[in-house]
A and B are shown apart, each in its own frame.
Chain A
Amino acid sequence: KNEVEQSPQNLTAQEGEFITINCSYSVGISALHWLQQHPGGGIVSLFMLSSGKKKHGRLIATINIQEKHSSLHITASHPRDSAVYICAVLGGETSGSRLTFGEGTQLTVNP
Chain B
Amino acid sequence: NAGVTQTPKFQVLKTGQSMTLQCAQDMNHNSMYWYRQDPGMGLRLIYYSASEGTTDKGEVPNGYNVSRLNKREFSLRLESAAPSQTSVYFCASSRDIPLEQYFGPGTRLTVT
List chain A positions with a Cβ less than 8 A from chain B: 4, 30-31, 33, 35, 41-45, 48, 86, 88, 90-91, 95, 97-99, 101-104
Contacts and interface: CB of A to CB of B under 8 A. Distances in A.
Contacts of A104: 42
Contacts, number: 47
Interface of B: 40-45, 48, 50, 58-59, 88, 90, 92, 97-103, 105-106
A98 B42 contact: no
A98 B59 contact: yes
Nearest to A4: B42
Contacts of B42: 4, 86, 101-104
Contact of A41 (B45, B97, B99, B106): B106
A97 B50 contact: yes
Given A97-B50, A102-B42, A103-B41, A44 B97 contact: no
13 contacts: A35-B103, A41-B88, A41-B106, A43-B90, A43-B106, A44-B103, A86-B43, A91-B98, A95-B59, A98-B45, A99-B43, A101-B44, A102-B42
Contact of B105 (A4, A41, A91, A99): A41
Contacts of B102: 45
Contacts of B58: 98
A107 B100 CA distance: 23
Contact of B100 (A4, A41, A45, A101): A45
Given A41-B88, A41-B105, A90 B98 contact: yes
Contact of A48 (B43, B92, B100): B100
B40 A103 contact: yes
Contacts of A45: 100-103
Contacts of B101: 33, 45, 99
B38 to A, nearest CB: 10
Nearest to A50: B98
Contacts of B45: 98-99
